[in-house]
Amino acid sequence: MRPGARPGQSSEARGRRMATKARPRPASAEAAASSQDDIGVEARVVAGVLLNAALEKRNGLDEALSQPAARALAPVDRAFARAVAMAALRRLGEIDQILDRRLQKAPPEAVRTLMRIALAQTLVLETPAFAAVSTAVKLAERDPKTRPYKNLVNAVLRGVGRDGPGLTTAESNLPDWIAARWRAAYGEAALVGLALAAREEPATDLSLKPGVDPAAVAAAVDGEALPGGTVRTGRRGDVATWPGFEDGDWWVQDAAAAVPARLLDVKAGETALDMCAAPGGKTLQLAAAGAAVVALDRSAPRLKRLSQNLERTGLGAEVVAAPAEDWADVRTFDAVLLDAPCTATGTFRRNPEVLRATRPADVAKLADVQHRLLDAAAERVKPGGRLVYCTCSLEREEGETQIVAFLRRNPGFRTTPADPAAVGAPAQALTPEGWLRILPSMWAEKGGLDGFFAARLERVS
C-alpha cells in the first residue's frame, strides 16, 4: 500500500468497508534483511513508547519525544518512530479489528503494542512484512514480560501477512463517544467523511506575506495554491530548509486556521488584539494586513516561537505574556480575535492523539473557559469594532452554543455574516446563522483541512 493508504483498501462500491490482500515479498529481499539483524529495533521500541504515551494523555507523544530514549536515536530513526506511532494512532481501530479476529483472548497490553506497531508498518507505511514481523518477535523475546508471547506475535503477524487484513471500518478509528456526538451533530454521511479524513496524513499548508506570489511559492515547493491564497504542498522534512523560509516569505498554517484572521478583515492602521495568540499564525496574518497588533497569551514559552516568526518574516507586533482574563491593560481595539483554548478535536488529521486523549468531561470544562474568555474579549472591542471567535473543535458546545449564549448575554453585539469565498473557506461551511463550521471532510478533493468554527460579531455603536 502507498504511504497514507488505508488498512483495508477503500472500495467505492462498499463505501465504509475495505479489503486488502497482502503482497508477497521477494525471497532475496528477505535474505538481505536477515543479515542486518537489529537495525531499527530501538526505533520500533520508541514507536511503541510514543503510541502508548499518546493514548495515555494529551501532549503525551510530544513529551515522550523529548525523553532520552527518543533523543538518543539518530534523526532518521526518530522520524521513523514518530511516523510509525502516528500511523498506528490514525488506524488504531482498524488495526485492533484485525488483531481481535485472530486473538482468542486479549494479550497483555505490551504484546498488543508490539503487534499494533508491526501492523502500522506493514499495512500503512509499506514496511516489508518480514522486517516488521522479525523485529516484533525479537522485541517480544528480549523482554521477560512479553517473551512467553513471542510465538503468538509471530503467528498473528504472519497470518495477517499470509491471509490479508480482511474487512475493516473507518469509523472504528473514532472513539465510540466521539462518533456518537458527530453522528448526532452532523449526520451519518458527514461521520463517514470525518472517519475517512481521520485516516489520512495531511499535507503542509503555508500562509504567505502580502506581495509574495502564491504561484511562485507553489512551484518552488511542488505545491498548489488554494482558495484564499494558502499554498499546499506534499513535501516532507524540515521546513527551515524549504525555499522562501529564510526570506520570511511564508509560515506554516493550516488552510482552515487561516480563515478566522481573514474573517476579521483588519485594515492598515487599525488596532487589533490577538487573544490566546501562540503559536502565532493569526498574529502574523493581522500584522501582514497592516494592523497595529497586540499578541496576548498566558504562556511565555509558547510566545517565543511567535517572536521568532515575527523576526524571520520582518513583521511587527507587541507581544504580551499575560492571562487574557486578567490583563490589566485598559486599551480597546478595532478588531479582536479570540482563538480560544479547546479540545482541538478538529485537528485530528495532524494530531490523531487528540481523539484518544480527549474525555467527555473536557468539553464542558473548556466550554466554561471559553465563556469567560468571550466576555473578556467583548470588553476589548471598541464601539463599531469587530470580534471573531473561533475554535479548532468539532464540538458544538465549543462553537455554536458559545455564540448563542454570548449574544443573549451581550445584546450590544450582532452577527455579521461570513462570505466563505472571500475568506478562503469551503462554501458548504456557511451556517444558516452566517457563521462558519468547517469540517475536515470538506475539500476532500484537495486533501481536506482542519475542523474549525468561526463567527464574526460587531459591537453596535
Percent of the chain with pLDDT over 90: 87
**Which pLDDT does position 3 carry in this prediction?**
32
Is the pLDDT score of 26 beyond 60?
no
**Which pLDDT does position 60 carry in this prediction?**
87
What's the whole-number mean pLDDT along residues 250-264? 97
What residues are paired with 223 via a beta bridge? 233
Say if CB 255 and CB 205 are below 8 A apart. Answer: yes
The whole-angstrom separation of Cα 283 and Cα 296 is: 9
pLDDT digits (tens, 9 = 90+) for 281-307: 999 999 999 999 999 999 999 999 999
Is the pLDDT score of 4 beyond 80?
no
The whole-angstrom separation of Cα 6 and Cα 64 is: 26
What's the whole-number mean pLDDT along residues 201-209? 96
**Which pLDDT does position 242 carry in this prediction?**
96
The whole-angstrom separation of Cα 279 and Cα 352 is: 19
Nearest CA to 40 among 97, 79, 13? 79
**Which pLDDT does position 28 carry in this prediction?**
36
Amino acid letter at 357? A
**Which pLDDT does position 364 carry in this prediction?**
95
The whole-angstrom separation of Cα 235 and Cα 245 is: 14
Is the pLDDT score of 223 beyond 80?
yes
User: Active site includes 390?
Assistant: no
The whole-angstrom separation of Cα 252 and Cα 366 is: 26
Is the pLDDT score of 365 beyond 50?
yes
Is the pLDDT score of 203 beyond 50?
yes
Query: How does residue 57 score in pLDDT terms, banded at 50, 70 and 90?
Result: confident
Lowest mean pLDDT among 28-42, 115-129, 308-322: 28-42
State the catalytic residue, choosing from 276, 342, 390, 392.
Answer: 392
pLDDT digits (tens, 9 = 90+) for 380-425: 999 999 999 999 999 999 999 999 999 999 999 999 999 999 999 9
Radius of gyration of the chain (CA): 24
**Which pLDDT does position 38 carry in this prediction?**
47
**Which pLDDT does position 113 carry in this prediction?**
96
Cell of 378: 467583548
What's the whole-number mean pLDDT along residues 89-109? 95
Interior angle at CA 187, CA 185 and CA 189, nearest 5: 145
Say if CB 351 and CB 198 are below 8 A apart. Answer: no
What's the whole-number mean pLDDT along residues 210-217? 94
The whole-angstrom separation of Cα 441 and Cα 174 is: 14
Is the pLDDT score of 37 beyond 60?
no
Cα 258–chain centre separation: 14
Q: Is the pTM of this model over 0.85?
A: yes
Is the pLDDT score of 23 beyond 80?
no
Is the pLDDT score of 357 beyond 90?
no
Mean pLDDT, all residues of the chain: 90
More confident residue, 25 or 133: 133
The whole-angstrom separation of Cα 47 and Cα 85 is: 5
Q: Within 10 A of 22 (CB to CB), how many other CB atoms are there?
A: 17
Is the pLDDT score of 355 beyond 80?
yes
**Which pLDDT does position 59 carry in this prediction?**
81
Say if CB 140 and CB 108 are below 8 A apart. Answer: no
Helices (runs of H) and strands (runs of E) counted in the chain: 19, 14
Percent of the chain with pLDDT over 70: 91
Cell numbers 463550521 correspond to what residue? 437
What's the whole-number mean pLDDT along residues 92-100? 96
**Which pLDDT does position 21 carry in this prediction?**
32
